[in-house]
Structure 1
Amino acid sequence: METKPALSNENNYLDWSVQLKTYLMAQDLWEIVESRSDPPAPEIEAAFKAWSKTNAMVLHVIQMSCQPNRFSDIREISSARIAWDTLAEKYKPKRPDPSSSIAPVPLRKDELLDSSKSGENDEKGNINGDVEIYTELNKALQSGDWNAAKEFLNTHPHAISAKITDTKKTALHVAAEAGHEHIVEELVNIMSEENLEIKDFEGFTALAQASFRGSYRMVECMLGKNKNLTIMGNDEGNIPLILALYNGQLDLARYLYLLTPLEILMPENGTMGAAIVSEAIYNKALDIALDLVKLCPRLAIAQDRIGYCPLYALACMPDYFLGGNELVFWKRWIYSGIHIQSAGPINEIHLNIQKSAGNLSNDKEIIGLGLSSLSQLVSNLQTLLGIKHLYEMKLAHVLSNELLRRMRDQLSISNIQQIRAGRVEDAILRATKEGIFEIVFEMVKANPQLVWSHDARSRNIFSVAVEYRRAKIFSLIHGLNIENGLAGFPDFTNKNNLLHMAGMSAASTSLNQIPGAALKMQRELQWFKEVESIVPSKSHGFLNKEGLTPRQLFTKNHADMMSNGEKWMKDTASSCTVVGALIVTIMFAAAFTVPGGNDQNKGFPIFLNEKLFMVFIVSDALSLFSSSTSVLMFLGILTSRYAEEDFLKSLPTKMIIGLSTIFFSIAAMMTAFSAALFLMLCEQSWIVIPVICLASVPVTLFVLMQFPLLVDMTILTYRHGIFNRKMERWF
């Protein structure tokens, strides 16, 4: 079938690997498993970010296709290729010795037919004869030829319930997998309810095939005859609803959710309910997740199939929260003006089931969600302003915050055993890593003991916040009376204390918003200095497992960044020096070749008494002086010693002055040019005005290209600090 199978042991490894490989190839993801080359270097940000995202997607697919006892084999592996190779090495069957095999004696076709009639029956009495006799039926179903399939079924009535492929698929499985909806309808009409419940070798019914494909027509047809199919899954609990969610068939998933009994989703009945909430979160079906948690709050911290709670899934999705989306000012303005209706009606998914199901195949509308007015609002906004994406983003934020609130409420009444069973600490640490302040704040506030959460290496939430440069989360330490206790303990593995964590290189993603290697180095120094001012004095000289102090570790880990920062500074300064020197030359010459020339008797400029002449000469002087200043600043950058401390204030200050003065000199030069042109061609305004307008082009280009860098550099250099030191007690 087209779904991703679950690896259980060596008995199904080959089928698992073939089908999963086909799926990854269809999604253009197989190359990262097949490639033997090393990943891009972190310094190549764009390539490394793209590789990391693809690797995470493939690794997630591999993890989700493993049974829990197989997932433990690759839990600590972060490379999709290594995870694949690890499973292959452990579970791939060894090739048998040809000399020891015994070739079977082939049967004649009539013997095959007889054997099928007297063959062994499965648990539901369905005939399991040899599949070769069904080749003709299989081809007809694959090609969509119902007449040929019907003729075969009339001749061999037992074939309607027989497993006609090597993977134990029935005719209905094959038709559903091939996507032939008209054949599925015909087959369902002549099948019994029990026939619809027949499973293939993976434990999936034909409804599972249709659910994974997202075919409303097939699903409606099958459920119209046997509604019990919604609760029938394989051994891992993959019911049709989970498969629809897993493959992103969200509208169909909402329909299946309406028809799935709530009783089987309770935590005491297994991991199915928590798995549905987690998959709904991962696949952006927050309405389903929110409704299910509302109906059964205990699912918020119940274990799913891989041992985590749905809170962990939410902690993996920073885009669901405002802090995880960097918006420019005009998008922030539009975002703030979008009003989302109360989440109350959205949760009424269990209303009007029959009406919704009846309309589903006709217009495929989102059922039972109370979103008709909101959908109309989306359409209007998209037409007028083209901001559908912002609306969907804010809707996701509203739903995720409501979901978080309900999870927090459940956490506040849960005991320590329930918290540990759901691995809530792992969720808090993952939220810290992703920079989701809301989750960390709400969860620790609901249960203050979670402030002591730590991973296997004994890193607490503040150590993780420093390692991944999450300033807002780390600022929470100032609202605690035990900040020295949280800051002073090293981890078990490398003996790194909090200041050592600041000395490690930041993840590339945390520095993506900072332009230029020099400013990245400055940001790293600011982090180190800020953390250094917080931790106890004894931490400054503490040696880690490598025998390095925090400062030594910082120098070691940032050597390449400092080298890149030096190169960036010098390249920028060199380019700007050429521009500044050119302006100096031009404006110096212009001061002695004034427009209109000089009086031959007295030597004074002819336009000396004109107001525009004073504008010209003042602008010329300002441009000359400012460009000279910029050249001196850039020369200072080129001749700097480039010590670590220079990146903190000295070098950025010189760059700020240099860029500011060269920007001012360009503007003054264009002003002088415009004034001179007016003086000489004052009666030819039809020429002067367009030319003066063109004179603004260089200034505009400089503003667009360099002014954002100047603003960022000024903010990063002269702001009051990274952390909020005025944080009050928050729990």
Structure 2
Amino acid sequence: MSNLGIHRIYRMKLHHVRSLEILVCMCKVLTTKKMKNCDIKQKEFVETAIFQAAERGLVEFLTNIFRVNPDLATIKNEKGRNIFQVAVKCRQAKVYNLIHGFNKDTRKTLMGMTDNDDNNMLHMVGLFSPFAQTNCIRGAALQMQKELQWFKELESMASPEDLEAANDTHAMKPSEFFSKNHEELIKEAETSMKETATSCTVACALIVTMMFAAAFTVPGGNNEDDGIPKFLNKRAFRVFIVADALSLFTSTTSVMFFLGVLTSRYAEEDFLISLPRKMILGLLTLFLSVAAMMIAFTSALFLMLPTDSWIAFPTSLLTGIPIASFIWMQFPFLVEIFISTYIPRTFRKNVNEKLNLGRVRFRDAI
């Protein structure tokens, strides 16, 4: 059992259950009424635990705490930041999504609240933290896309005043602060995209060359009298022609998409939709061209070896290796880009109403 990891999963589940039991006991003494009787050290201990939970994305801990004492959502740390500003800095989307439990006016107030350096919620996207969840995203390009999605999400909730507000440390607006602190990531993302596009362009160009040549040197050759292919009436020949044409067209299309990636201006906004879309279409057409090329090769084998099926069948099975290799190595990356671009699941607005955050008011809002 231990070899299969079942014992480890059991221990993790046991720790989780015991942690919940401790949390329930904590919640009994963290109600609004009982918190008034706590001394300063006890309150500081609770506030420290809440901010550490926000940094690490422990949303289950926070939701249980806020159910019994919604007012704890208004606390600030030593830098003057509330838990939502901390969550944004650490890119903890599940914690940030709790902001939708407040009413519209309170959300607006939260977006405008600043820390000791006059950084509002939008400025937080320009900062990085060791707990930032972008570190687990594969590739600099996808990291940059996720950062832009964060900024766009907060920008959609911010007021015009928040968009123009400058901080004290750099005297920059949120957009300027974001661009300045992401210059290195943009360079890394550009290098990553160009390297991927260059490698794929070479592969596509080779497929184009082979498929173009194969279209005019068909299996079996042509009749000397009229130039018509000798195997024209065979079903395998029709499969060969269709697969060859499909591979040629898709590989040529893929080259165009990857050239679009290479010649892009690599502006900040391009990493949000434009470049990922080109990469998705380029990888998809490359996959289709490889698959069609293998089908063309298989049909050519059956044309050339009609009576030696014991050679044709095993060899045909081997054509699945390049397709399987592509699926194993590149398809997960393709799926990840597609989901990140068209089905982002980072931000959810359906916050549990049992948190009762709608009745909470921040001091700045009074």
Q: TM-score w.r.t. structure 1 length?
A: 0.46
- 2:166 aligned partner: 543
Work out whether residues 56 and 131 of structure 2, in 8 Å CA contact, stay in contact via their aligned partners in 1.
no
Which residue number corresponds to residue 505 of structure 1?
Answer: 128
> In 2, distance between residues paired with 1:663 and 1:521?
25
2-side partners of 1:517 and 1:722: how far apart? 18
Secondary structure at the counterpart of residue 29 of structure 2: helix
Give structure 1 stretches of 5+ with no counterpart: 1-380
- Residue 504 of structure 1 and its aligned partner are, at CA, apart by 2.0
Tell me the C-alpha RMSD between the 2 structures. 1.6
- Whether 2:153 is the aligned partner of 1:530: answer yes
* Structure 1: distance between partners of 2:251 and 2:81: 51
| Cα distance in structure 2, aligned partners of 1:417 and 1:564 | 53
Q: Deviations over 1:659-711 (max 9, x none)?
A: 11101111110111011111211321221222112211111111111111101
Deviation at 1:399, TM superposition (A): 2.0
Aligned to 1:496: 119
Q: Cα 1:575–1:720, aligned 2, differ >3 Å: closer, same or farther?
A: closer
1:600 aligns with 2:224: yes
CA distance in 2, matches of 1:595, 1:458: 75
2:347 match: 723
Match of 2:35 in 1: 415
Alignment partners' CA distance in 2, 1:626 and 1:672: 14
Is 1:404 aligned to 2:23, yes or no? Answer: yes
Q: CA deviation at 1:584?
A: 0.3
What whole-Å deviation, never above 9, does each CA across 1:20-62 have from its counterpart, x for those lacking one? Answer: xxxxxxxxxxxxxxxxxxxxxxxxxxxxxxxxxxxxxxxxxxx
- 2:148 aligned partner, one-letter code: L
**Runs of 5+ consecutive residues of structure 2 not aligned to the other structure:** 357-366
The CA deviation at 1:498 is 0.4
1:721 is displaced (CA, Å) by 5.5
Please, which of 290, 308, 312 is the counterpart of residue 666 of structure 1? 290
Structure 2: distance between partners of 1:446 and 1:645? 42
Rounded to whole Å, the distance in 2 between the matches of 1:717 and 1:419 is: 49
- Distance in structure 2 (CA, Å) of the matches to 1:610 and 1:477: 66
8 A Cα contact 1:634 1:655, kept in partner: yes
Which residue in the other structure is 2:179 paired with?
555
1:404/1:439 contact within 8 Å kept = yes
Matched residue type, 1:665: S
Alignment-mate amino acid for residue 501 of structure 1: M
Structure 1's 555 and 396: CA in aligned 2 closer, same or farther, altered over 3 A?
same
Aligned to 1:107: none
User: Judging changes above 3 Å, is the alpha-carbon distance between structure 1 residues 444 and 593 closer, same or farther for their aligned structure 2 residues?
Assistant: same
The answer to whether the Cα contact below 8 Å between 1:489 and 1:498 also exists between their aligned partners in 2 is yes
| Separation of aligned partners in 2, 1:417 and 1:683 | 92
Deviation readout 1:427-481 (Å, 9 max, x if unpaired)? 1111000111111111111111101021011100100010000111111101111
In structure 2, what is the equivalent of residue 80 of structure 1?
none
Alpha-carbon shift at residue 507 of structure 1 (Å): 4.0
CA distance in 2, matches of 1:508, 1:563: 22
Deviation by residue 1:383-437 (Cα, 9 ceiling, x = unmatched): 7x44322222222222222222222233236323427432211111110001111
Question: Partners of 2:303 and 2:164 in 1: how far apart?
Answer: 69
Q: How much has 1:617 moved relative to structure 2?
A: 1.0
1:434 corresponds, among 35, 56, 64, to 56
Partners of 1:506 and 1:641 lie apart in 2 by: 29
8 Å contact from structure 1 (residues 630, 658) kept in 2: yes
Partner of 1:476: 98
User: Is contact 2:141–2:189 with CA below 8 Å preserved after alignment?
Assistant: yes
User: Which residue number in structure 2 is paired with residue 211 of structure 1?
Assistant: none
Partner Cα distance (1:470, 1:702) in 2 = 33
Q: How has the CA–CA distance of structure 1 residues 712 and 561 changed in structure 2, closer, same or farther, with 3 Å as cutoff? A: same
1:628 to 243, 246, 252: 252
Q: Judge conservation of contact 1:530–1:722 (CA < 8 Å) in 2.
A: no
* Aligned partners of 2:232 and 2:238 also within 8 Å: yes
Whether the 8 Å CA contact 1:465–1:474 is kept in 2: the answer is yes
1:551-579 C-alpha deviation (Å, 9 max, x unpaired): 11001100000000000011110000000
Alignment of 1:644 onto 2:268: yes
Output the CA distance in 2 between the equivalents of 1:604 and 1:508.
67
CA distance in 2, matches of 1:561, 1:382: 41
What residue number does 1:137 align with?
A: none
Higher relative contact order (CA 8 A, sep 6+): 2
User: Quick one: distance in 2 between partners of 1:420 and 1:614?
Assistant: 83
Quote the offset at 1:536 in angstroms: 2.2
Question: In the alignment, is residue 573 of structure 1 matched against residue 201 of structure 2?
Answer: no
SS of 1:591 mapped into structure 2: helix
Deviation of 1:728 after TM superposition, in Å, equals 4.9
The superposition leaves residues 257-282 of structure 1 with CA deviations (integer Å, 9 ceiling, x where unpaired) of xxxxxxxxxxxxxxxxxxxxxxxxxx
Separation in 1 of the partners of 2:223 and 2:131? 65
Equivalent in the alignment of 1:370: none
2:91–2:132 Cα contact (<8 Å) kept: no
- Supply the AA of the counterpart residue of 2:155: E
Distance in 1 (alpha carbons) for counterparts of 2:131 and 2:320: 38
Residue in structure 2 matched with residue 219 of structure 1 by the alignment: none
Identical pairs, percent: 49
- Rounded to whole Å, the distance in 2 between the matches of 1:527 and 1:509 is 12
Q: Is the 8 A contact 1:462 1:477 kept in 2?
A: yes
Further displaced range: 506-515 or 471-480: 506-515
Residue equivalent to 1:337: none
Q: Which has the higher helix share?
A: 2
Q: Which residue of 1 aligns with 2:6?
A: 387
State the AA in 1 paired with 2:36: I
Cα gap change, 1:409/1:486 in structure 2, threshold over 3 Å: closer, same or farther?
Answer: same
Distance 2:187 2:129 in 1: 16
What pairs up with 1:155-194 in 2 under 5 angstroms? Answer: none
- Corresponding residue for residue 86 of structure 2: 464
* Alignment CA distance shift 1:419-1:598 (3 Å): farther
Partner amino acid, structure 1, of 2:6: I
1:535 Cα shift? 2.1
- State the alpha-carbon separation in 1 of the partners of residues 341 and 129 from structure 2: 19
Counterpart AA for 1:673: F
Aligned to 1:694: 318
- Assess if the C-alpha contact under 8 Å between 1:411 and 1:419 holds in 2: no
Is the CA contact 2:240–2:295 (under 8 Å) kept in the aligned structure 1? yes
- Equivalent position of 1:617 in the other structure: 241
Alignment partners' CA distance in 2, 1:587 and 1:656: 23
Aligned counterparts of 1:635 and 1:556: Cα–Cα separation in 2 = 28
Equivalence for 2:330: 706
Query: Are 2:206 and 1:582 aligned?
Result: yes
Q: Is contact 2:54–2:86 with CA below 8 Å preserved after alignment?
A: yes
Give the one of 65, 72, 77 matched to 1:455.
Answer: 77
Q: Deviations over 1:590-624 (max 9, x none)?
A: 11111111222222212212221111111111111
Q: Which moved more, 1:641-650 or 1:496-505?
A: 496-505
Q: Which protein shows a greater Rg?
A: 1
Indicate the larger mover: 697-706 or 522-531.
Answer: 697-706
Question: Letter of the aligned partner of 1:414 in structure 2?
Answer: K
Q: What per-residue deviation string (whole Å, max 9, x for no partner) do you get for residues 210-260 of structure 1?
A: xxxxxxxxxxxxxxxxxxxxxxxxxxxxxxxxxxxxxxxxxxxxxxxxxxx
**Residue type matched to 1:518 in 2?**
A
